[in-house]
Amino acid sequence: MTQAKEAIEAVSWQEKSEWFQQCLLRNYYNAETGIMNQWYPRAYNVAGENFYYWWQAHVIDILVDGYERSGDPVYSLKIMELSQSLQAYNGGTFRHNYYDDMEWTALALLRAYRVTGHEAYLSAVLNLWEDIKTAWNEQLGGGLAWKKDQLDYKNTPANAPAVILAARLYELFHKQEDLEWALRIYEWNKTYLMDSTTGFVWDGMNRLGDGQIDYDWEFTYCQGVFLGAGLELYKNTGGVHYLEDANRTANTCIDRLCDPINLMLPDEGIDDTGLFKGILIRYLVQLCKISPVNIRIREVILANAMQLWEKGLDKQLGLCSSSWEVKPELPVQLSIQLSGLMLLEGAAALVNE
């Protein structure tokens, strides 16, 4: 092992997170667009390739993580630059065809507002929230649609993050309407897309126009956002059953999706699913802070972080793979890198408690 590698191995989780933040910027930042490239190496980015708008929202979220951890004003500048560039790249607006994409952008910008106080972020959040609420319709018993050109497809990715957003807006401004939205959306998601016996959360229903639930889609992402929604409602209402829901879903997720021997979360592949584990980790960390008696959650987070650090990183290039137990092969997608960074930041946030 080289001296440089030995130095990296010895640092704290906070330092490891900071190192990986710098790797993200070095490997993916595009000075021409002001946002992140989809691939590393840059040569793999193809003109006209699908623009994953919601990945960039998670870049903002990651930068907020770095700012909260370090207090370094450079992060504040990066948040502003990337958010402005994303708006420009998206046609001068944060609004989008996909309701869940807008929700992630609003959540990231709301966090940015809370740590920086910049009113432009809040203005964008409130503009997005007005558009997001138009997703509600009474088809399939209610709920928010996934996207504007498919209003009869309802899923957890469009509903649970909206609960988190509405509850956080209520926490800030105490508008009863926001809390009512959060409660209504949560009850729909729980009623239609949660297994009442186990607490496991399904992705969506009526995707193919047949009214069916996609029971074969078992994603870490859905468990994360649903338990995150329960957490926010617990914080804002004091209803213990919301915390019980969150812990039940977390425990079922661990039982169903983690390796029973080493607690590793599954390899969910590339593209959008590459982001899923990182999102689960973000909300597991929050649950662990609010409900520390559930020690399994802490064990899962730190077990995955240790495996990623010891086995899943190319420390020369500063990259990870979709499996946190295996070193990456080029090219590596931005979504994969973001999940790995969420894991390291999550470990840093826990250990820093």
pLDDT of residue 108 exceeding 80, the answer is yes
Give the confidence band of 9 by pLDDT, cuts at 50, 70, 90: very low
CB 228 within 8 A of CB 216: no
Confidence of residue 111 (pLDDT cuts 50, 70, 90): very high
Q: Which amino acid is at 349?
A: A
Please give the residue that has the higher pLDDT: either 231 or 10.
231
DSSP state for residue 311 in the 8-state scheme: I
For the range 113-117, what are the long-range contacts, defined as Cβ-Cβ under 8 Å and sequence gap of 24 or more? Answer: 114/172, 115/64, 115/67, 115/68, 115/76, 116/67, 116/76, 116/79, 116/80
Q: Helix 99-116 vs helix 156-173: angle between axes, to the nearest 10 degrees?
A: 30
The residue whose two tokens read 């969420």 is: 342
State mean pLDDT over 222-230: 98
End-to-end CA distance of the chain: 31
Cβ contacts of 159 within 8 Å, gap of 6 or more: 143, 144, 185, 186, 188, 189, 193
Which residues fall within 8 angstroms of residue 316, CB to CB, at 6 or more apart? Answer: none
In angstroms, the CA 64 to CA 68 distance is: 6
The phi, psi pair for 154, rounded to 5°, reads -115, 135
**Are 94 and 102 in contact, with CB atoms under 8 Å apart?**
yes
pLDDT at 7 over 70: no
What pLDDT, on the 0 to 100 scale, is given for residue 246?
Answer: 98
Among residues 8, 13, 37, 9, which one has the least CA distance to residue 25? 37
pTM for the model stands at 0.96
The pLDDT value recorded for residue 353 is 59
Q: Please report, rounded to a whole number, the percentage of residues in the chain having pLDDT higher than 70.
A: 97
| Residue 102: exposure state from Cβ atoms within 10 A (0-12, 13-18, ≥19) | buried
- Compute the residue count for the chain: 353
Over range 280-288, report the average pLDDT. 98
Q: How confident is the model at residue 12, as a pLDDT?
A: 93
**Can you give the pLDDT at residue 293?**
84
Q: Which of 286, 287, 269 lies closest to 339, judged by CA? A: 269
Q: Which ranges of the chain would DSSP assign to H, the alpha helix?
A: 3-10, 13-28, 53-70, 73-89, 99-116, 119-132, 156-173, 176-193, 220-237, 240-257, 276-290, 295-307, 334-351
Q: What rounded mean pLDDT belongs to the chain?
A: 95
